[in-house]
């Protein structure tokens, strides 16, 4: 029983981090109908930015609240800028082209980033994983019984941040002028432009927002996993993407539910079966969901326009 | 997407009818013989040409699904893995068996062919399984399912004792020859070209251009999509089998998402839908890293720089995709074949309709 509870908690904690990355996929897909394959790699770049900042700050500042805030701010701002550049130079010229071209471009950027970061030329970090510094000192916050069930502080913190960001995003999309513009662009960006909505700006801002979110999520992931490597984006990104598709891509609460479900499924596979099967189960689950509901759990299958 | 050049391939051929059927064979045989003669001495050239051949098979077969049918599949390495492992295991278990009435070399090739076909058929069965979801899924979603399927195959292989888990299979008899590789290259090109020119091919083009319209015109879209998946994965399985029989060790690390993407880059670079484009891109992208490496070695730089070439390859692939999509989204050849883009003074087949 206690073991089950512990797995439940770990699964939810993993799920919230997936959820934050998945939200980025969902936002971009919602506005642009583009699977931004490079999203996970933008996250990875953000983690390295945070890593560099943490070392620049030095040991004393690093653990403090101010230090954590600076690290998150630098990584999120830097990633927002990176997202803007990618959108401006790689995706915007392809907006009127078939969707496949943009998908291939996204895969290209993903490869350029993840393998580019493996080179050890100049300031690039090289292929070997690095230990992420202890930005938040791990503490056991809730202990039940004789350490039967342990809840760590980073689990609670990441859950809180994730929930706050989700609520904020839901507010942004459904209660603000910018959110209304986003939804209009998502519906039909040409008509939206005719109605006086600056579509380019809305899309660019959405990209920056999703990239910044990715950086934040990546830092939470790095704090939990304590190791960073150039390929982390490829795999975390893939999982988060799976989560977004399970929930129905383009659907904000769907992404969160999908991510939580995925986190739980993975945790139970690792806990009760074998850890080596984790990836296969994630993808198997995805295929199963898509076969039963081709649009994901919450998505609707749009009628084909003829 | 640019429309494929519609042409009736047989109508205005310069060849007499009785020669058309066997003409490709007549061309291929001397070429293969020349290869065989040239390569007897140099093991590295044999290896390089075998890799090149395997890549050509993979690219041309993926082009049937990605280029001709327009179903974006990014899990091709999974099918290759199925072929490699099934044929590898079969060869390992048949190692001691020989047909005593034949010379050893011939008997080896007989078993090799059997193993290859078994690998190809197993991969084709997997292709059928992947093709089925295309009943319900389209576009991006189908791409993700193929990716997931490729990864599942890798994980299954990694966890099966018979397949050597993460260590992989070693000791597979090294019976593959360039002759065999290029026989299959020839076969896959022939099949791809025949499909492209047939009424099957017309249906595939129709699905690629507009699935709904194709369906409305009475094309059995799911049937054709599943069939193109099956054919494509059969050849991917053959490529995997060939690969398994000339490298010393196969392990799950050879068949990751990265390998799938390498094949996708070849198809996209050549032009989605162009068979000769896929061949040219496969040759180019196989030779590029080797060429760079030997160039560095010739320049006398230290060996670390030559090793870096292998690392630089993947970022270059990524940037190549981006630049290509921005500047020439239809790839080098688009849907045209090599002879459509040759200079004008070279005599070429006249276009029927265009």
B-chain CB neighbours of A121 within 8 Å are 308
Q: Per DSSP, which regions of A153-252 are E strands?
A: 227-228
Q: Give residue A305's pLDDT.
A: 46
Least confident piece of the model among A2-6, A119-123, A187-191: A119-123
- Report the pLDDT averaged over residues A95-99: 80
Q: Give residue B77's pLDDT.
A: 93
Identify the band that residue A300 occupies on the pLDDT scale cut at 50, 70 and 90. low
Q: Give residue A139's pLDDT.
A: 77
Q: Give residue B352's pLDDT.
A: 45
Give every CB contact of residue B182 below 8 A, 6+ residues apart in sequence.
B28, B31, B32, B35, B49, B53
Q: Give residue B1's pLDDT.
A: 45
Nearest by CB to A105, from B133, B151, B321: name it.
B321
SS (H, E, C) chain B: CCCCCCCCCCCCCCCCHHHHCCHHHHHHHHHHHHHHHHHCCCHHHHHHHHHHHHHHHHHHHHHHHHHHHCCCCCCHHHHHHHHHHHHHHHHHHCCCCCCCCCCHHHHHHHHHHHHHHHHHHHHHHHHHHHHHHHHCCCHHHHHHHHHHHHHHHHHHHHCCHHHCHHHCEECCCCCCCHHHHHHHHHHHHHHHHHHHHCHHHHHHHHHHHCHHHHHHCCCCHHHHHHHHHHHHHHHHHHHHHHHHCCCCEECHHHHCHHHHHHHHHHHHHHCCCCHHHHHHHHHHHHHHHHHHHHHHHHCCCCHHHHHHHHHHHHHHHHHHHHHHHHHCCCCCCCCCCHHHHCCCCCCCCCCCCC
Give every CB contact of residue A112 below 8 A, 6+ residues apart in sequence.
B315, B318, B319, B322
- CA–CA separation, B160 vs B164, rounded Å? 7
B144·A291 Cβ contact <8 A: no
Which of A30, A110, A115 to mutate to probe the B interface, most B CBs <10 Å?
A115
User: Pick the residue with more confidence: A129 or A47?
Assistant: A47
Backbone angles phi, psi at A182, to 5 degrees: -60, -45
Which of A236, A280, A286, A288 to mutate to probe the B interface, most B CBs <10 Å?
A280
A68 touches A136 (CB < 8 A): yes
> Which tokens belong to B198?
């047939």
A-chain CB neighbours of B141 within 8 Å are 245, 290, 294
A111·B152 Cβ contact <8 A: no
Which of A245, A247, A275, A287 to mutate to probe the B interface, most B CBs <10 Å?
A287
Which of B167, B262, B322 to mutate to probe the A interface, most A CBs <10 Å?
B322
Q: Give residue A215's pLDDT.
A: 92
Q: Per DSSP, which regions of A87-158 are E strands?
A: 130-131, 140-144, 149-152
Q: Give residue B27's pLDDT.
A: 75
The residue assigned the tokens 């993460």 is B166
- Report in angstroms the alpha-carbon separations of A290 from A248, A262, B79: 9, 14, 21
Mean pLDDT per 10-residue interval, chain B, length 354 residues: 48 63 73 72 79 93 90 90 93 79 79 92 92 74 85 86 79 82 88 88 88 87 90 95 89 86 88 88 86 71 64 81 85 76 61 43
Average pLDDT of chain A? 84
Q: What is the ipTM of this complex?
A: 0.81
A38 touches A86 (CB < 8 A): yes
Identify the band that residue A302 occupies on the pLDDT scale cut at 50, 70 and 90. low
The residue assigned the tokens 């701002």 is A77
Q: Whose CA is closest to B195, among B96, B293, B69? A: B69
- CA–CA separation, B95 vs A141, rounded Å? 60
The reported pTM is: 0.85
- Report in angstroms the alpha-carbon separations of A1 from A5, A144, A148, A262, A272: 6, 12, 9, 21, 13
> Which tokens belong to B88?
């590898």
B138 touches A305 (CB < 8 A): no
Angle (nearest 5°) at CA A40 between A35 and A45: 135
Q: Whose CA is closest to B72, among A287, A100, A289? A: A100
Q: Express each pLDDT in A218-245 by its tens digit.
A: 988 888 877 888 888 888 888 888 888 8
- CA–CA separation, A253 vs A246, rounded Å? 11
User: Pick the residue with more confidence: B237 or A14?
Assistant: B237
Residues of chain B that touch chain A, judged by Cβ-Cβ distance less than 8 Å: 1, 72, 74, 133, 136-137, 139-141, 143-145, 147-149, 151-152, 155-156, 158-159, 212-213, 216, 257, 261, 264, 268, 308, 311-312, 314-315, 317-322, 324-326, 329
Nearest by CB to B321, from A104, A241, A287: name it.
A104
Q: Express each pLDDT in A156-172 by its tens digit.
A: 887 887 788 778 888 88
Name the residue in chain B with its Cα closest to that of A33.
B140
Q: Give residue B345's pLDDT.
A: 63
A-B contacts (CB, under 8 Å): 122
Q: Give residue B306's pLDDT.
A: 61
B211 touches B78 (CB < 8 A): no
Separation in Å, CA of A96 to nearest CA in chain B: 12
The residue assigned the tokens 């704090």 is A223
Residue A41 is given by DSSP the state H
Separation in Å, CA of A284 to nearest CA in chain B: 7
Q: Give residue A152's pLDDT.
A: 82
Q: How far apart are the first and last CA of chain A?
A: 55
> Which tokens belong to A136?
């938040």
- Report the pLDDT averaged over residues A22-43: 88
The residue assigned the tokens 């299959």 is B184
Q: Which helix (H) or strand (E) holds A266?
A: helix A252-272
The residue assigned the tokens 């025949």 is B194
Q: Is the pLDDT of residue A35 over 60?
A: yes
Query: How many Cβ atoms sit within 10 Å of the Cβ of residue A143?
Result: 11
B318·A112 Cβ contact <8 A: yes
- CA–CA separation, B224 vs A278, rounded Å? 34
- CA–CA separation, A95 vs A105, rounded Å? 12
- Report in angstroms the alpha-carbon separations of A80 from A109, A239, B88: 16, 22, 48
Q: Give residue A80's pLDDT.
A: 94
């Amino acid at each position: 029983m206690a073991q089950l509870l512990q797995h439940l908690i770990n699964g939810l904690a993993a799920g919230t981090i997936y959820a934050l990355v998945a939200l980025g996929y969902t936002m971009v897909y919602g506005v642009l109908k583009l699977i931004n394959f490079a999203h996970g790699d933008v996250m990875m770049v953000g983690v390295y930015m945070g890593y560099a900042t943490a070392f620049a700050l030095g040991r004393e500042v690093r653990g403090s609240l101010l230090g954590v805030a600076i690290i998150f701010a630098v990584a999120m701002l830097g990633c927002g800028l990176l997202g803007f550049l990618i959108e401006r130079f790689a995706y915007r010229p392809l907006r009127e082209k078939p969707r496949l071209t943009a998908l291939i471009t996204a895969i290209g950027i993903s490869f350029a980033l993840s393998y580019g970061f493996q080179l050890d030329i100049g300031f690039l970090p090289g292929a070997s994983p690095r230990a992420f510094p202890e930005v938040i000192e791990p503490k056991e916050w809730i202990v039940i019984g004789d350490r039967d069930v342990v809840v760590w502080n980073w689990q609670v913190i990441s859950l809180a941040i994730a929930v706050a960001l989700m609520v904020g995003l839901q507010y942004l999309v459904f209660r603000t002028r910018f959110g209304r513009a986003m939804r209009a662009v998502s519906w039909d960006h040409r008509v939206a432009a005719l109605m006086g909505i600056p579509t380019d700006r809305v899309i660019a801002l959405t990209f920056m927002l999703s990239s910044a979110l990715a950086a934040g999520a990546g830092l939470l992931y790095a704090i939990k996993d304590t190791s960073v490597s150039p390929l982390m984006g490829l795999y975390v990104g893939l999982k988060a993407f799976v989560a977004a598709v399970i929930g129905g891509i383009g659907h904000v609460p769907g992404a969160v539910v999908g991510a939580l479900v995925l986190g739980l499924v993975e945790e139970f596979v690792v806990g009760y079966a074998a850890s080596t099967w984790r990836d296969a189960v994630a993808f198997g689950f995805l295929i199963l969901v898509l076969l039963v509901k081709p649009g994901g759990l919450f998505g609707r299958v749009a009628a084909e326009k003829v | 997407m640019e429309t494929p050049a519609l042409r009736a391939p047989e109508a205005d051929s310069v060849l007499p009818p009785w020669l058309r059927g066997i003409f490709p064979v007549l061309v291929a045989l001397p070429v293969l013989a020349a290869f065989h003669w040239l390569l007897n001495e140099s093991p590295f050239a044999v290896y390089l040409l075998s890799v090149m051949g395997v890549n050509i098979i993979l690219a041309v077969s993926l082009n049937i699904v990605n280029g001709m049918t327009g179903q974006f599949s990014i899990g091709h390495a999974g099918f290759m893995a199925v072929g490699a492992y099934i044929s590898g295991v079969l060869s390992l278990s048949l190692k001691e068996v020989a047909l005593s009435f034949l010379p050893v070399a011939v008997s080896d090739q007989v078993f090799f062919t059997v193993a290859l076909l078994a690998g190809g058929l197993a991969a084709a069965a997997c292709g059928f399984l992947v093709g089925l979801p295309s009943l319900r899924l389209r576009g991006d979603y189908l791409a993700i399912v193929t990716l997931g399927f490729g990864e599942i195959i890798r994980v299954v292989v990694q966890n099966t004792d018979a397949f050597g888990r993460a260590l992989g299979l070693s000791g597979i008899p090294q019976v593959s020859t360039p002759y065999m590789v290029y026989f299959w290259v020839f076969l896959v090109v022939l099949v791809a070209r025949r499909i492209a020119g047939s009424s099957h091919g017309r249906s595939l083009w129709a699905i690629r251009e507009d699935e709904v319209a194709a369906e409305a015109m009475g094309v059995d879209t799911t049937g054709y999509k599943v069939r193109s998946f099956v054919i494509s994965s059969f050849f991917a399985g053959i490529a995997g089998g060939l690969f398994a029989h000339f490298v010393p060790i196969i392990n799950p690390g050879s068949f990751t998402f990265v390998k799938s993407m390498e094949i996708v880059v070849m198809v996209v670079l050549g032009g989605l839908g162009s068979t000769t484009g896929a061949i040219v891109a496969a040759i180019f992208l196989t030779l590029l890293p080797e060429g760079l490496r030997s160039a560095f070695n010739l320049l006398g730089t230290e060996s670390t720089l030559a090793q870096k070439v292998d690392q630089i390859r993947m970022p270059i692939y990524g940037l190549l995709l981006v630049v290509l999509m921005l500047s020439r989204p239809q790839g080098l050849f688009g849907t045209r074949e090599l002879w459509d883009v040759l200079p004008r003074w070279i005599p070429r087949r006249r276009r029927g309709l265009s």
